[in-house]
């Protein structure tokens, strides 16, 4: 078995590469950069275990050559500008990396009569505010450039599966965390900031709106779900989530409480850190994944917080 993984150096891409390698799959990792940051691969112990290649997902000829040369059984597209906040500052780059990359890969697969399977990373951001737990058939109301791009890609994958018979599918992932998140993500910022407050009581952690609520899960578990979705028959888009929603204030308070601190003594709320357009509540319906694939998240927000703190403390040891 051979798999191509676009976006192989991010949180999800790195964890997916490790999972595939452990199963004996030959992995070719694709990155836009000719000098990719391999820190996460090194932390996961997979540096040097997969073939790394530079590729522009929007370059038709380049992607066609890769698929023709490697003849993979599976392709995972996890490549994109993945920060919602950054998408407001860089909407054009966000649209290009998500929408153009998605349709180019699908068009290459159609042109090459690719018979393998293609997985596309979707996002819960497409739903906007969820009045009740969302599933793939729920109304969608994207509220950011990132969400708009993901929504368009979700629709495009459905069209290529239904109209052209491609074996392609989208996993719509709600928030999922791990120690390998970029430091720009708020969960990582909170954990790192709380630990700094523990060491330096004079440090102040600056955050934006704590009233927003999210469905947080554990990234390694979501990697398992991705693969279940991709290899199922028939292919069906699925939501991957825990089904439990808590506010960011809950997340902050729980992190600080595990360190025997009161967050009120260490956190400043800064209006400039709020997004121009924000989702206030976001939660998914885990029942379809449970019913169809026997998969259910083992860690909810409390388990995620405990694991993040434990890893951060271990990493900070001399």
Among 31, 76, 125, 177, which one carries the catalytic annotation? Answer: 125
Q: Give the containing element (helix H, strand E) for 159.
A: helix 145-164
Mean pLDDT of 140-165: 94
**pTM of the complete model:** 0.92
Cα–Cα dist 25/19, whole Å: 9
Spell out the domain ranges in the chain. 2-176+217-240, 181-215+244-285+299-316
CATH number of the domain at 181-215+244-285+299-316, out of 2.102.10.10, 3.40.50.2300, 3.90.25.10, 3.40.920.10? Answer: 3.90.25.10
Give the mean pLDDT of 117-143. Answer: 95
Calpha distance 297→292 (Å, rounded): 14
Res 87: pLDDT: 65
Question: Is the backbone peptide bond immediately before 234 cis, with ω within 30 degrees of 0?
Answer: yes
Is 181-215+244-285+299-316 in the same CATH topology as 2-176+217-240? no
Pair of tokens at residue 37? 């940051």
Options 82, 97, 124, 146, the catalytic residue: 146
pLDDT given for residue 144 in this prediction: 86
Greatest extent of the chain over all pairs of C-alpha atoms, in Å: 61
In this prediction, residues 38-47 reach a mean pLDDT of 94
Could you read off the pLDDT of 227-258 as tens digits, one per residue? 999 999 999 999 999 999 999 999 999 999 99
What share of the chain has pLDDT > 90, as a percent?
82
CA–CA separation, 96 vs 314, rounded Å? 38
Confidence band of 81 (pLDDT split at 50, 70, 90): low
**List of E strands, 113-158:** 117-123
pLDDT tens digits, one per residue of 276-290:
778 899 999 999 999
**Per-residue pLDDT, 82:** 65
Per-residue pLDDT tens digits for 260-276: 999 999 999 988 878 77
Residue carrying the six token digits 């995972």? 76
- Report, as an integer, the average pLDDT of 177-189: 89
Q: Would the pLDDT of 85 be above 80?
A: no
DSSP secondary structure string for all residues of 23-55: TT-EEEEEES-SS---HHHHHHT-TTSSEEEE-
Catalytic residue (choose from 123, 138, 178, 282) = 123
Model confidence at 220, pLDDT cuts 50, 70, 90, reads very high
> What dotted CATH number matches 2-176+217-240?
3.40.50.720
Is 51 considered catalytic here?
no
Q: Under 8 Å CB-to-CB from 71, ≥6 apart: which residues?
A: 2
**Average pLDDT of 282-311?**
96
| Structure-block tokens of residue 77 | 């597209």
Residue bearing the bigger pLDDT, 89 or 310: 310
CB 129 within 8 A of CB 289: no
Query: Catalytic annotation on 250?
Result: no
DSSP 134: B
Best-predicted range by mean pLDDT among 30-44, 81-95, 128-142?
128-142
What is the C-alpha radius of gyration for the chain, rounded to an integer number of angstroms?
19
125 is catalytic: yes
Evaluate if residue 80 carries a pLDDT over 90: no
What is the residue whose two structure tokens read 């950011």?
Answer: 144
Q: What is the mean pLDDT of the chain?
A: 93
């Amino acid at each position: 078995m051979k798999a191509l993984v676009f976006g192989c150096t991010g949180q999800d891409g790195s964890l997916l590469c490790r999972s595939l390698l452990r199963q004996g799959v030959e992995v070719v990792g694709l990155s836009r950069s000719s000098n990719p940051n391999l820190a996460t691969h090194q932390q996961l112990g997979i540096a040097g275990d997969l073939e790394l290649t530079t590729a522009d997902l929007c370059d038709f000829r380049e992607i066609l050559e890769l698929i023709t040369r490697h003849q993979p059984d599976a392709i995972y597209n996890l490549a994109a500008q993945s920060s919602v906040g950054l998408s407001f500052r860089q909407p054009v780059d966000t649209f290009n990396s998500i929408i153009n990359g998605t349709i180019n890969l699908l068009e290459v697969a159609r042109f090459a009569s690719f018979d393998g399977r293609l997985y596309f990373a979707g996002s819960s951001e497409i739903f906007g505010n969820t009045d009740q737990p969302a599933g793939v058939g729920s109304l969608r109301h994207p509220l950011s450039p990132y969400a708009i791009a993901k929504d368009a890609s979700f629709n495009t994958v459905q069209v290529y599966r239904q109209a052209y018979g491609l074996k392609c599918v989208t996993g719509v992932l709600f928030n999922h965390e791990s120690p390998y998140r970029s430091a720009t993500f708020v969960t990582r910022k909170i954990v790192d900031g709380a630990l700094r407050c523990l060491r330096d009581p004079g440090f102040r952690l600056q955050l934006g709106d704590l009233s927003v609520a999210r469905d947080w899960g554990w990234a390694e578990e979501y990697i398992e779900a991705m693969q279940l979705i991709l290899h199922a028959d028939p292919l069906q888009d699925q939501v991957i989530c825990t089904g439990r929603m808590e506010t960011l204030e809950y997340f902050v308070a729980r992190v600080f409480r595990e360190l025997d601190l009161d967050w009120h003594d260490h956190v400043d709320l800064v209006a400039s850190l709020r997004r121009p357009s924000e989702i206030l509540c976001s939660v998914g319906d885990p029942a379809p994944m449970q019913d169809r694939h026997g998969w259910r998240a083992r860690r909810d927000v409390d388990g995620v917080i405990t694991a993040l703190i434990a890893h951060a403390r271990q990493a900070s040891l001399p």
